[in-house]
Copies of this chain bind each other. A is one copy, B any other.
Amino acid sequence: MNVLFDVILAQNEPQGEALMKRLEGKSPLFICVIGTTETAKIPGISAAGKNPDLTDYTPSADVELLLLGRCKCISGVPATPEGIPTPALITRSALNLADIPTFVVNSGLKVKPHAPILELGGSPGGDIRTGKAVENVEEVMRRARIAGENFSKMADYLIVGESIPGGTTTALGILLAMGVDARGRVSSSMSNNPHDLKIKTVEAGLKAAGIEFGSLDNNPLKAIECVGDPMVPAFAGLVLGASARIPVLMAGGTQMAAILAVLKSMGNVLDNVAVVTTRWIITDKSSDLKRIVAQIADVPILAANLDFSNSRFEGLRTYEAGVVKEGVGAGGAAVASMLKSKGRITKDVLLEEIEAGYKYLVEV
């Protein structure tokens, strides 16, 4: 794999490289789509919170960190049960260093942030085991699309990230409903990826909704409604609205595959998007982003070549053991900071800033 700046070209290298050259020095806008789903409260599904109930606070705390520089709805910062801090620390550092404007979109939240947030009329997601996961899918996507169109007139490209605990399980639900074989291939915020629990959860939802593998291949809105989460229609709508005019970096791990599947099924040709993630995702042995995406479209995959192995903080070094890996658009924000600064911001510059934030926010 080739490396350009500190970015790994992980799939469709020629298009990925051409895109990076096109975006170098340009002015991006970062958007974080946040939501909650009851699915995250199934014990053992998500590590995006110190305990399952706290997952309701994680997305709002993440974006408070981005917009306010500290969390208000919780003390400290979001962390896994073991105390490993949120990837929003990475995102915040990258956006700050490169002075990238930031907006937050509420796709459906139980707990709202103490910060400005773009509302789309969505509701928090339900437990997918019921087969009724998301309300108002079409309208949320329609409103997101209008916002995406307007954002596309204000920036050279978008980076869209997400924070929704439980999101890889709901992504698996959408992918299976739409006929993309992602069993055992979605990633996890845990070092020990609970594939069996995820598959069992999704299968319960598919059964409750009367869906079989691939039976909603042509009905992405229903797939989201039955076994997805609120983040997906908001994210997909933003991409639909913006990518007609400017490139969109879809910043995340295997959840991005679910969004690609939705977009493709809606007739989008996916010629103005790329998936941007972290090295921890593309080198992960317990998931396979490339193999999921390859079933959908040959879009470029880029990965920020972040390396925390020499960090002076154990909480950051632990990222190298495969905990957390990605989230809050961390990989996309890191890549955008490198592109905007034409390579002045390297992975080492980023780590220094992340460590300063860690010291200030986590070690207090």
Q: Which residues of A contact B (CB under 8 A)?
A: 27, 29, 67-68, 99-103, 106, 112, 114-121, 139, 143-144, 146-147, 150-151, 153-155
Give CA–CA (A102, B150) in the complex, Å. Answer: 6
**With a CB–CB cut-off of 8 A, which chain B residues contact A100?**
153
Contacting residue for A147 out of B99, B116, B150, B153, CB 8 A? B116
CB distance from A199 to the nearest CB of B (A): 35
- One complex includes copies of this chain to the number of 2
Report whether A101 and B146 are in contact in the complex, using a CB–CB cutoff of 8 Å.
no
Main secondary structure of the interface of A (DSSP, over half): mixed
A101 to nearest B CB, angstroms?
4
Give bound CA distance, A27 to B152, whole Å: 13
The 4 A-B residue pairs whose C-beta atoms are closest, nearest first, are A101-B153, A116-B147, A154-B154, A101-B150
The answer to whether B150 touches A103, judged by C-beta atoms less than 8 angstroms apart, is yes
Tell me the bound Cα distance from A151 to B29 in angstroms. 10
A–B Cβ pairs within 8 angstroms, 13 of them: A67-B150, A68-B146, A99-B153, A100-B153, A103-B147, A112-B121, A114-B121, A114-B139, A114-B143, A115-B146, A116-B143, A118-B119, A119-B119
Cα distance, A277 to B30, chains bound together (Å): 33
Q: How far, in whole Å, are A102 and B29 apart by their CA atoms in the complex? A: 15
Measured CB to CB, the closest approach of chain B to A324, in angstroms, equals 26
A119 surroundings in chain B (CB, below 8 A)? 106, 112, 116-119
Name the B residues within 8 Å of A67 (CB-CB).
146, 150
- List the B side residues contacting A115 at CB < 8 Å: 143, 146
A112 to chain B, nearest CB (A): 8
